[in-house]
Amino acid sequence: MLLLSGYLGLTAQKKPVIAPNKQAVLSSIQTHEKELVNLSDQVWSFAEIAMKEHKSAKVLSDYAEQQGFRVQRNVAEIPTAFIAEYGSGKPIIGILGEFDALPGLSQKAQTSKDPLNAGAAGHGCGHNMFGAASLGAAVAIKELIASGKLKGTIRFYGTPAEEDLGGKVYMARAGVFNDLDICLDWHPSYENLANMQSSQAVVDYTVSFKGKSAHAAADPWNGKSALDAAELFSIGMNFLREHIKPSVRIHYVYKDGGNIPNVIPDKASVWIWIRDSKRSGVSVVEERMKQIAKGAAMMAGVEVDMHLNNGLYELLVNETGAKTLHANMELVGPITYTKEELAFADTIMKAYGGESYGIDGSIKPIEVTRPDPDGGSTDVGDVSFIVPEITLNAVTAPYKSPWHSWVVVACGGMSIGHKGMLFAAKSLSTTMVDLFENEKLRQDIRKEFEQRKGKEVWKAMLPEGKPPVPKE
Amino acid sequence: MLLLSGYLGLTAQKKPVIAPNKQAVLSSIQTHEKELVNLSDQVWSFAEIAMKEHKSAKVLSDYAEQQGFRVQRNVAEIPTAFIAEYGSGKPIIGILGEFDALPGLSQKAQTSKDPLNAGAAGHGCGHNMFGAASLGAAVAIKELIASGKLKGTIRFYGTPAEEDLGGKVYMARAGVFNDLDICLDWHPSYENLANMQSSQAVVDYTVSFKGKSAHAAADPWNGKSALDAAELFSIGMNFLREHIKPSVRIHYVYKDGGNIPNVIPDKASVWIWIRDSKRSGVSVVEERMKQIAKGAAMMAGVEVDMHLNNGLYELLVNETGAKTLHANMELVGPITYTKEELAFADTIMKAYGGESYGIDGSIKPIEVTRPDPDGGSTDVGDVSFIVPEITLNAVTAPYKSPWHSWVVVACGGMSIGHKGMLFAAKSLSTTMVDLFENEKLRQDIRKEFEQRKGKEVWKAMLPEGKPPVPKE
Amino acid sequence: MLLLSGYLGLTAQKKPVIAPNKQAVLSSIQTHEKELVNLSDQVWSFAEIAMKEHKSAKVLSDYAEQQGFRVQRNVAEIPTAFIAEYGSGKPIIGILGEFDALPGLSQKAQTSKDPLNAGAAGHGCGHNMFGAASLGAAVAIKELIASGKLKGTIRFYGTPAEEDLGGKVYMARAGVFNDLDICLDWHPSYENLANMQSSQAVVDYTVSFKGKSAHAAADPWNGKSALDAAELFSIGMNFLREHIKPSVRIHYVYKDGGNIPNVIPDKASVWIWIRDSKRSGVSVVEERMKQIAKGAAMMAGVEVDMHLNNGLYELLVNETGAKTLHANMELVGPITYTKEELAFADTIMKAYGGESYGIDGSIKPIEVTRPDPDGGSTDVGDVSFIVPEITLNAVTAPYKSPWHSWVVVACGGMSIGHKGMLFAAKSLSTTMVDLFENEKLRQDIRKEFEQRKGKEVWKAMLPEGKPPVPKE
Amino acid sequence: MLLLSGYLGLTAQKKPVIAPNKQAVLSSIQTHEKELVNLSDQVWSFAEIAMKEHKSAKVLSDYAEQQGFRVQRNVAEIPTAFIAEYGSGKPIIGILGEFDALPGLSQKAQTSKDPLNAGAAGHGCGHNMFGAASLGAAVAIKELIASGKLKGTIRFYGTPAEEDLGGKVYMARAGVFNDLDICLDWHPSYENLANMQSSQAVVDYTVSFKGKSAHAAADPWNGKSALDAAELFSIGMNFLREHIKPSVRIHYVYKDGGNIPNVIPDKASVWIWIRDSKRSGVSVVEERMKQIAKGAAMMAGVEVDMHLNNGLYELLVNETGAKTLHANMELVGPITYTKEELAFADTIMKAYGGESYGIDGSIKPIEVTRPDPDGGSTDVGDVSFIVPEITLNAVTAPYKSPWHSWVVVACGGMSIGHKGMLFAAKSLSTTMVDLFENEKLRQDIRKEFEQRKGKEVWKAMLPEGKPPVPKE
């Protein structure tokens, strides 16, 4: 409470001194408010999953085109990936927009659980707002460039397939982030925060074994069991746990564990993920995993194939960037809610799990970076190894909402979500004004980026070949 | 060749002394030959799998009815199980007829691989002939009872679902074999043989574990992994292998090994079979398995459910019965093949695997019983613990044919199969004449049966409740 | 160096205000310096291991008696445990003195590796200085009580068997710490520090399995393998690692893994330790371990016995106490070394591992408490759950010395060790002056103690019965 | 019954016609009876274990020398191995004599358990009689050669270390059996039998892993656990059990399973034996074991060393030889016992385990060879792959005596043992008369030997270098 009023006081002091360009972007977002809400709501109702976001990508890219952006579609051979650019020359500031949904989470914008379309996908991670807000912020900057008040290039990235398949990693592999000076993104949350928390790096493998069938009762000695190998691999990985750092996580399931008991399985496979707070830490365990897989195959007398499905880097945060963002969040001011919205938050949380913690529109102080992040990974991490990344969290749901649940879907489709989306658009656009105007700031941000990155050389963790675009 | 001509000589000597009733059943089968071939071919073309043999059961039961049998359908709550009976009073002699096919084995009656219906089932175990021959033998006996030349009851059992689900065990549990004096059956083979070889007893379990999900990266310590339990169970079973008798076989697959790596699996299951040359040996290992499953659950802090899918007893052979059968096989004489049939056998075996061993219609001597059978199990085993069972093997395919393959399907649909089927019908019906006529023989057979069974008390190894009849 | 001079400056400022009682204890230690050094050196040369410290306990307890303390020997049925007390009434301030050595570390007080007695024990953890310094501090306080300048009771605890067997836990179980107001201790180190770092809680079990022998080739099915159970237990513990918090450590060895391959082992045992940053965390894993041991026994069909060898609580630190201690350390001032001592430190470290980091006599600022301590455990932890504990680290060896090595032994037997020992005696005695004089301080320390302890109820983690005193 | 009476008839017929040379060897053994009993009793009282049989080897070799044999000592670099030879030229007939005892089995020659020397070794396998009887038979043949009644060479092999270390394999590697025509041996038993039963082939390995220590609580991620590798190896071997033939046996113990839990073990080892009914079958599993050991090392990131301690071939029996032996056993006639001996047998068996089966001195018919022998292995197997081997079993203990027990020790030191020893000497010497006299017989025996050996090429399964002679 004390802290909150302190910040409010700070905001109060700053409000009078809003610079003209910042005033302009705030006005722009107000001007386009209905359009942005409409974009968010359309994407919310489309609720398309990874690499299938055809309608969602279309409404966003079409809008960008209408607003005067140059639009490039089918980026990195992904039909739903696109880039919308305006202006020319340096600096080039990027902003990311996600728009994919989660399977099975369809839900109406109401306080009781009820799917919009039974069995369909839903925006349980709020990406409908993500794309719209980022695009709104880009449009506001574009108008300043168009009017000659800012110089350089604004580039909006329509980035599909965050929830699965790692869309941005394919885009990064194609080099589309290489010439950026700085990049921004945000994520729906239950706290307003200039993010200083990294995410987990991860690799995702399918380890498959190939042996030789035999009748399990008549001549099991003529078989080489791929299932034995899969189990020995798993056992080996569990023994490895003693020798991994506390920040590492290893988890797996059996994708193929044999067909029928009376046949020695000639095929078996384990789907395994390895995470750590840093890519470098993941690599250490990844190498051990490969040896364990080879050892298991050798033990069972079978062949092994280790297929890298994909991998994500941890998020490199940037304190200089976060502080700039934080100041602009203060400038924008906290989100306030109506009685109806507060009641909605209360009701929906009680409907979900019995307990409500309200909804908190205040602006949180920047957190100390914890060395070991919670169990989340994001493909923004890969972008953050190519270009300095500034990440905003903006409130679109009640405090302590269960993420990836119907609660988040419901709130993302009504005014609570809309407010968070507009707060994000404003915070990001005012921050971009600073970034365009202040070369020293850009240099400081990049300097910190280089220090944090250190000697790590980014390399897309992807299988060779085209992205896994599903066939229609 | 030498052996063959030797037996032919023997047969030549015996032919003059065919008793009148035996002559009658041989004539009957000749009379009904076309009908029996037609029945076999119809069932062959229906090729229906376990508990779905509606058309097959219909043609066989309808034919029995036409021949004057009293027919009871939907025996033991299985729609495709039926009993066809004629006569009254003692002795009651039973004969089994199977008619289910194997999934995926559809094949034309030709020497090159080509499915009749792509993806459909096929008679890779020759049960189309099994049902027809047994019914033909029963009809021949019925005619003798009708004419007053034999006294007692002949009973044909239409026994579905041998390949899967253990149809006869459900019928046995319902008590339908209890009042039989003696039972006969036969099986398609590549050798003509009065069978003295037992089969393996087996139990079939699904061991399922139920734990508690948690995010595998964020708070794996709040999860209880059902997959861990499944793996620990499997490991425990592999350690048990040191302490089982050489005749025991244990084999398993993972039916459910988790969904996605980032969720601690709250469900997992292992499908496991335990076999031994005797039911009593299986029981010992079954008890250990239950302790291992409980121990694994305790280790992982989860719950366990052990579901008995079904279990089969080993086949109790009967030397007295086998010798009677053998004598009648000699009476019937070996199967002879035309040049075309010999060429068909040769061509199809070469098409299958490159090597042909011809086709052998001779009658083999009775084999010494090996203590440990090869890896096969049959639900005839359960019947053999209720009533003395006499089993014939009759040639329906080239020597060393790969069973459960398209080769067996093809031969079962043309003259090679027809000849074996008729040989079986003749051998079984002449044997039944002996059984009806000779009370002392029946007593000797039962005495041996009691000795072999010893103290073992038969109990259906089935889950409680109705048979697993699939919904249409 | 900069830091060092900075602290010297600070010390310079404080020196003028040394209160009379503090001046008295500092003088007392100077007066007894030779005796204390002599005590330390005698115990160093005795180098007796856990519960065998007869000579060491004798010289220390005899000295206390000579100084006028009332001495109670054979405390808690441990022949080498003793309590030396002076004064009467409240407050009662305790101070701990350890004096046991480590097996196999015998070493001369020189810069090259050379055992004093080949194969004998050595003071690789510096406990020879520990006992002498604490006793010196107690004597200094005793003199103030004797002269009426302080009121209350000073009590020195001669605490054997810290390196092994957990001597203090037996003493704590006997209740000898129950009436203390506050307790102090110190530990030799390579940093001068008022300790704010907890230690790991630990439990130490021997898990033994008992099965049934059989000839491993002739009839392995008649055996029940205790070794199988031990291995399944170990496997279960490794699978558990996924589900433990990152702060937990589990480690084990096989104490008995069978005798000869051709006999199914009827006995096998695993020696296992479980650690966590808190006793409460250890308990969670301990319960799981018991289930896993039972599950393993059930799997292998054997019996299990889980013997608790001992267990230690984590150290409850006390910030109020640490700050008081820190202020007195500043009062005493940093340790300064002669050229010869600096050269000794340099030479011995290079002789050990090639690299020297000098020796650092400065006084370090109080550290932030890390949530997860490094891999150390101490039986002082148990005392710290009964009475507020204040712990000093004092330099007795070169910076980054490898603990439990001959380097620490060598330095503990010459002037570097003596200086650290005297620094400890001075810092502890001046701190005790504050504790005797300042009731409010004592109350604040206890209040913090109660908060940190929370609801945890201390209970000795020991097997029932007498301490494991080795037979001579 | 038929077979037995047949043999009885044969015996009845043959007794009158004992040929002169056979009469001579029977007389010789009678003449030397006291000396032979004395040799047996001396070795019994020495009771020296493998490669430490100094006194036993001395009395036997000295006696041979006294009898006129040329004696070579320290054969194959084993101080207690010797060869005693007489005569010259072909044929060369060998006879084996063992004389090593078993640790811990010391026992007086009485019916209640009481060690002669507490903790000392005892002749629980009856090798004291083995050496004496074989030598007695050799002396009898020597006398015939000396008198010109037989031509050729008789060679007695003093073969130490059968119970452990495989003494004969070292001798065989040195080539000392290569020029033999035929070899004989016998073994104390509870049945008189011309042996047609093979033994198990076996390999004995120590699989050692070498990793890297680390503090198990502070930085387990810096360690590479040799114990993990040992456990993974063991797990891999247990998974292999599904895929071995029923005749294979695998058993192991942990020789080194780590020292103390808080140190990641850098060393660990498993002692493992693999057996099968044939060496060729062992080889298959041995190769898999090597892959599993390598795989386990790869999994744990450690090094592996696989040390072959030794290995034994299965015994190649010889039916032609066994029939010759059997005929001579019939000639010698069954062993008869006094009332006192029958009572001794009865009492000692009841004292041991409560049940007595008497003592059976009759001559058993030749058994059908079982494909899978019980769990025994012998280094006579290696000899039997170099030269045709004929093996006698002679009764030296009550029926169903527990071998390797004090019962066998006791009986081997009194008249029951002496009688069996003399029966063996007589049966072996008369058989050797046939072998010397009958070239056709020798050819037939060798022909059968070549057929049974087939393509297997004998190769000593031993580590390189000298035999493991223990240091005194």
Bridge partner list, A189: A395
Q: Residues D460, D172: contact at Cβ < 8 Å?
A: yes
Looking at residue D367, its pLDDT comes to 87
Looking at residue A17, its pLDDT comes to 79
Pick from A1-5, D27-31, D262-266, D298-302: least confident: A1-5
- Residue of A228, A243, A298 lying closest to D294 (CB–CB): A298
Looking at residue D12, its pLDDT comes to 45
Looking at residue B375, its pLDDT comes to 67
Q: By CA distance, what is B292's nearest residue in C? A: C299
pTM: 0.92
Looking at residue D4, its pLDDT comes to 34
**Which residue in C439, C390, C435 sits closest to C183, CA to CA?**
C390
Q: pLDDT digit string (tens) for D69-121?
A: 999 999 999 999 999 999 999 999 999 999 999 999 999 999 999 999 999 99
Residue C29: band (very low, low, confident or very high) from pLDDT cuts 50, 70, 90: very high
**Which residue in B155, B152, B106, B101 sits closest to B127, CA to CA?**
B101
Percentage of chain B lying above the pLDDT 70 cut? 96
Looking at residue C98, its pLDDT comes to 97
Residues of D with CB under 8 A from a CB of C: 200, 204, 215-220, 227, 231, 234-235, 249, 251-255, 257-262, 264-265, 271-273, 275, 374-377
C242 to A251: CB separation less than 8 angstroms, yes or no:
yes
Q: pLDDT digit string (tens) for B260-313?
A: 998 999 999 999 999 999 999 999 999 999 999 999 999 999 999 999 999 999
Q: pLDDT digit string (tens) for D146-201?
A: 999 999 999 999 999 998 889 999 999 999 999 999 999 999 999 999 999 999 99
Q: pLDDT digit string (tens) for A38-63?
A: 999 999 999 999 999 999 999 999 99
Closest Cα in chain B, distance from residue D239 (Å):
6
Residues of C with CB under 8 A from a CB of A: 235, 238-239, 241-242, 246-247, 250-251, 372
Looking at residue C354, its pLDDT comes to 82
- Residue of A241, A247, A372 lying closest to C242 (CB–CB): A241
Looking at residue B393, its pLDDT comes to 97
- Residue of C200, C204, C265 lying closest to D253 (CB–CB): C265
Which chains would you list as touching C if contact means 3+ CB atom pairs under 8 Å? Answer: A, B, D
* 3-state secondary structure at position D460: coil
**ipTM for the predicted complex:** 0.89
Tokens representing C318 are 């006390």
Quick check: C334 pLDDT over 90?
yes
Residue B15: band (very low, low, confident or very high) from pLDDT cuts 50, 70, 90: low
Q: pLDDT digit string (tens) for B226-248?
A: 999 999 999 999 999 999 999 99
Q: What is the mean pLDDT of chain B?
A: 94
- Residue of B244, B292, B298 lying closest to C291 (CB–CB): B298
* 3-state secondary structure at position A363: strand
Higher pLDDT, B284 or A374: B284
Mean pLDDT of B370-376: 76
d(CA B391, CA D327): 45
Mean pLDDT of A23-32: 98
Q: pLDDT digit string (tens) for C275-325?
A: 999 999 999 999 999 999 999 999 999 999 999 999 999 999 999 999 999
Q: pLDDT digit string (tens) for B72-121?
A: 999 999 999 999 999 999 999 999 999 999 999 999 999 999 999 999 99
DSSP D29: H
* 3-state secondary structure at position C188: strand
Mean pLDDT of A73-83: 97
Looking at residue C15, its pLDDT comes to 54
Residue C353: band (very low, low, confident or very high) from pLDDT cuts 50, 70, 90: confident
Looking at residue C368, its pLDDT comes to 80
> What's the angle, vertex CA D323, arms to CA D319 and CA D325, rounded to 5?
115
B372 to D246: CB separation less than 8 angstroms, yes or no:
yes
In total, the C-beta contacts within 8 angstroms joining chain A to chain B are 94
Mean pLDDT of B123-131: 96
Output the CA torsion sign for A342, A345, A351, A357. negative
Pick from A366-380, B178-192, C357-371: least confident: A366-380
Quick check: A432 pLDDT over 50?
yes
Whose structure tokens read 């049934």?
C212
Which chains would you list as touching D if contact means 3+ CB atom pairs under 8 Å? Answer: A, B, C
Q: pLDDT digit string (tens) for D238-268?
A: 999 999 999 999 999 999 999 999 899 999 9
DSSP A347: H
Looking at residue D232, its pLDDT comes to 98
d(CA D283, CA D306): 15
User: Which residues of chain B does A265 touch, with a Cβ-Cβ cutoff of 8 Å?
Assistant: 253
Q: Which helix (H) or strand (E) holds B429?
A: helix B415-437
Looking at residue C17, its pLDDT comes to 79
Looking at residue A9, its pLDDT comes to 39
Q: pLDDT digit string (tens) for D414-437?
A: 999 999 999 999 999 999 999 999
* 3-state secondary structure at position B254: strand
Residue type, D245: K
Residues of B with CB under 8 A from a CB of C: 216, 220-221, 223-225, 228, 231-232, 235-236, 239-240, 242-245, 264, 288, 291-292, 294-301
Looking at residue C374, its pLDDT comes to 73
Determine whether A4 is exposed, middle or buried from the number of CB atoms within 10 Å of its CB (0-12, 13-18, 19+). Answer: middle
Residue C16: band (very low, low, confident or very high) from pLDDT cuts 50, 70, 90: low
Looking at residue B107, its pLDDT comes to 95
Looking at residue A371, its pLDDT comes to 77
b/e map A440-467, b = 16+ CB within 10 Å: ebbebbbebbeebeeeeebebbbeeeeb
For residue C410, report the phi and psi dihedrals to the nearest 5 degrees: -60, -50
Q: What is the mean pLDDT of chain C?
A: 94
User: Which residues of chain D does A300 touch, with a Cβ-Cβ cutoff of 8 Å?
Assistant: 236, 239
Which pairs count as long-range contacts for B108-111, CB under 8 Å and 24+ apart, including other chains? B108/B410, B108/B413, B109/B410, B109/B411, B109/B412, B109/B413, B109/B414, B110/B410, B111/B344, B111/B347, B111/B348, B111/B351, B111/B410
Percentage of chain A lying above the pLDDT 70 cut? 96
Q: pLDDT digit string (tens) for B411-424?
A: 999 999 999 999 99
d(CA A416, CA A398): 9
Quick check: A8 pLDDT over 60?
no
DSSP C385: T
Mean pLDDT of B167-183: 98
Residue D6: band (very low, low, confident or very high) from pLDDT cuts 50, 70, 90: very low
Q: What is the mean pLDDT of chain A?
A: 94
Looking at residue D423, its pLDDT comes to 98
**Which residue in D294, D305, D307, D308 sits closest to D210, CA to CA?**
D305
Interface test with C, best of D249, D250, D251, D310 (most C CBs within 10 A): D251
C217 to D255: CB separation less than 8 angstroms, yes or no:
no
B246 to D247: CB separation less than 8 angstroms, yes or no:
yes
d(CA A304, CA A410): 45
Percentage of chain D lying above the pLDDT 70 cut? 96
d(CA A330, CA B337): 97
D295 to A299: CB separation less than 8 angstroms, yes or no:
yes
Whose structure tokens read 């197997």?
D381
C375 to D258: CB separation less than 8 angstroms, yes or no:
no
Closest Cα in chain A, distance from residue C303 (Å):
25
Mean pLDDT of A361-382: 88
Q: By CA distance, what is B299's nearest residue in C? A: C292
Q: By CA distance, what is B267's nearest residue in A? A: A253
Pick from A368-372, B131-135, D94-98: least confident: A368-372
Closest Cα in chain C, distance from residue D224 (Å):
13
Mean pLDDT of D340-365: 95
Mean pLDDT of C136-160: 98
Looking at residue A16, its pLDDT comes to 53
Percentage of chain C lying above the pLDDT 70 cut? 96
Mean pLDDT of B435-454: 98
